[in-house]
Amino acid sequence: MRAVVQRVRSGSVSVDGSPVSAILHGLVVLLGVGAADTSADAERLAAKIDALRIFEDERGKMSHSVVDVGGEVLVVPQFTLYGDVRNGRRPDFTKAAPPDKAQRLFEAFCGALRGADVPVATGRFGAHMRVAIEADGPVTIVASTDGWREGELTATRDTPSAGRSPAPPRA
């Protein structure tokens, strides 16, 4: 799975000129599902994103997560995140999951966020959407499960820094 995570003041999705969903303070996540992705990838990525410390504390340091600040998440399906442009001028989407699998894993990702008590709104799977984002910062993070498999980087809600080496002591 691949996600572009944007910290926002607001975000919304409309289809054919009609509002579909909207959030205020929180995150907009553009989510692509790859052909090799599994439900475990959906859960791991959701755990990583709900624990990302990209909201500022009273000192202006990014030390709070979307959960900590009571924010919302708007998740927008975006298969084009798997567009491979290494050859030619037209993106190749063969590494994107087929629509039925992508929708199932998209819903699993959203369900994992909801399981962490994060309010989740979504775009409409398979629709041509207009996405409005009022960026905050801007703060944009790209996260991917590419390479996350048994024994590799994992994230849990209890250990959001799992898989990273401890920071060296400060002098």
Whether residue 79 lies in the annotated active site = yes
**Three-class SS state of 22:** strand
150 CB-side CA count, 13 A: 0
Catalytic hit among 55, 79, 106, 109: 79
Catalytic hit among 78, 109, 122, 145: 78
Phi and psi of 48, rounded to 5°?
A: -65, -45
CA distance 22 to 132: 9
Catalytic hit among 80, 140, 156, 159: 80
Q: What is the 3-state secondary structure (H, E, C) of 126-142?
A: CCCEEEEEEEEEEEEEE
CA distance 24 to 71: 8
At 21, which helix (H) or strand (E)?
strand 18-23
**Residues noted as catalytic:** 78-80
